[in-house]
Amino acid sequence: SGLFGNHPLLLLGDESAPSMSEMENAKLALASVWSYACIRAISTHAADIPVRASLLDEANQPIALKDSDPVQQLVYRPNALETWNEFVESAFFYQDLWGHVPSHVIRDKTSKNVISYKTVRPDYLIVEGSNDSSSPVKGYLFEDPLAGRAPVRIPVEDIILVRHFSPLHGVLGLAPA
């Protein structure tokens, strides 16, 4: 019995989660034009904050990267379908409606370098619980019900999970909306 009790997989909306599922909460919040308008205003203004990538030198001082640097290019264009502003907007929506936003890091198959990242709908991501107290998450399964294909396994190091605090769950966040 670990962090997730006797559940080998922690599914969103199962009996260990809060009584109102994240999907029901999101649908309820989106039903109000005011929820949508508020999250849209917050995300739009957040996306307007300039973000620059930098590295740290041996003295722990930041070194600004040129606009042409591949790392800075990932900030400007996280993936082929989104600009930085679109990425931030989707991240804020997911975090405020579901309580957490998973971002999938895409790596080059040969070099393993990060080549892009994108937000993932929280209701399509299944968290695989672990009984190891030092690492409560074993991995993730991404299941898109509209795609009609088998779930895709995503290693734990390829998901960045940003969440709101939740007293009800050790891994996933609690939506404020």
* Residues paired with 82 in a beta bridge: 79
The reported pLDDT for the residue numbered 97 is 84
| Average pLDDT over all residues of the chain | 81
C-alpha distances in angstroms, 151 versus 122, 141, 145?
A: 14, 6, 9
- In terms of DSSP bridges, do strands 100-107 and 114-119 run parallel, antiparallel, or are they unpaired? antiparallel
The reported pLDDT for the residue numbered 34 is 77
The pLDDT tens digits for 106-130 are: 999 999 999 999 999 998 998 888 8
- Tell me what percent of the residues of the chain surpass a pLDDT of 90: 31
163 contacts 172 by C-beta, under 8 angstroms? yes
Name every residue whose Cβ is closer than 8 Å to that of residue 82 and which is 6 or more positions away in sequence: 90, 118
The pLDDT tens digits for 137-152 are: 889 999 887 888 888 9
The reported pLDDT for the residue numbered 156 is 92
Q: Please report the sign of the dihedral spanned by the C-alpha atoms of residue 28, residue 20, residue 147, residue 100.
A: positive
